């Protein structure tokens, strides 16, 4: 096996280290977060750090970095208090990836990609059209991670729309029925296929 210690990692070129360290946590969620500026420009940005935090209350978290693109998202959420999370399908990956380009805050990525906004009743922020899972969130809290000046943003799920054929009777959502993708590193997009679903694991009485 290839081995890197802490000094090797420190000595890497920036790009090599970015690619490596962004890859080795494993597959990541692929989401478009839509926010609104005070001038009603809708920003769209791709995130790969949206994580389940808890089910009751229903909470999600994601990480924002001190770079320009996530700052638009961050500023808008702090200013307006709401955002939507939209899953990315196989057919949307090119436009979804392009949303990571550093456009100024007054440009909407809806105007620079094939992605379209979908407005729904009772929510101030649009969703991404044809996204099979669309989540409306309110801002709940932020935690400043002092180690590297990032922030964990906590959102509360307010409304949830999902394609009916993904939903099982017990609440489990079969993502592969929606051709929902996952992210490998900074720029790799992969399509998972379900292998198996297990039941709740209980200790074995005998070895």
Contact stretch for a copy of itself (CB under 8 A) within 36-44, 71-79, 181-189: 181-189
For residues 32-51, which are near a copy of itself according to CB under 8 A? 48-51
If one asks whether residue 53 binds a copy of itself (CB under 8 A), the answer comes out as yes
- In the list 18, 38, 78, 119, the residue contacting a copy of itself (rule: CB under 8 A) is 18
**Alpha-carbon span 31 to 128, nearest angstrom:** 10
- Burial per residue of 10-45, b for 16 or more beta-carbon CB atoms within 10 angstroms, e otherwise: eeeeeeeeebeebeeeeebbbbbbbbbbeeebbbbb
- In the list 9, 11, 78, 124, the residue contacting a copy of itself (rule: CB under 8 A) is 9
If one asks whether residue 143 binds a copy of itself (CB under 8 A), the answer comes out as yes
**Alpha-carbon span 89 to 82, nearest angstrom:** 23
If one asks whether residue 141 binds a copy of itself (CB under 8 A), the answer comes out as yes
Residue 97 CB, shortest distance to a copy of itself, in Å, is 5
Contact stretch for a copy of itself (CB under 8 A) within 5-13, 36-44, 73-81: 5-13
If one asks whether residue 106 binds a copy of itself (CB under 8 A), the answer comes out as no
Of 96, 120, 118, 126, whose CA–CA distance to 36 is shortest? 126
**Alpha-carbon span 55 to 68, nearest angstrom:** 31
**Alpha-carbon span 94 to 90, nearest angstrom:** 9
If one asks whether residue 67 binds a copy of itself (CB under 8 A), the answer comes out as no
- In the list 100, 110, 125, 139, the residue contacting a copy of itself (rule: CB under 8 A) is 100
């Amino acid at each position: 096996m290839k081995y890197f210690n802490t000094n090797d990692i420190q000595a890497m070129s920036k790009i090599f280290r970015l690619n490596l360290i962004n890859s080795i946590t494993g597959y990541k969620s692929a989401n478009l977060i839509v926010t609104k500026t005070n001038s009603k420009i809708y920003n769209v940005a791709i995130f790969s750090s949206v994580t389940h935090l808890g089910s009751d209350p229903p909470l999600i978290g994601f990480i924002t970095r001190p770079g320009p693109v996530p700052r638009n998202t961050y500023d808008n959420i702090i200013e307006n208090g709401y955002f939507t999370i939209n899953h990315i399908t196989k057919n949307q990956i090119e436009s979804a990836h392009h949303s990571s380009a550093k456009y100024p805050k007054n440009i909407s990525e809806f105007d620079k990609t094939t992605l379209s906004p979908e407005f729904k009743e009772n929510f101030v922020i649009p969703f991404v059209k044809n996204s099979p899972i669309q989540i409306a969130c309110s801002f709940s809290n932020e935690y400043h991670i002092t180690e590297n000046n990032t922030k964990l943003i906590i959102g509360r799920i307010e409304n949830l729309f999902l394609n009916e054929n993904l939903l099982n009777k017990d609440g489990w959502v079969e993502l592969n029925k929606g051709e929902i993708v996952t992210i490998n590193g900074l720029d790799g997009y992969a399509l998972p296929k379900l292998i198996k679903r297990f039941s709740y694991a209980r200790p074995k009485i005998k070895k």
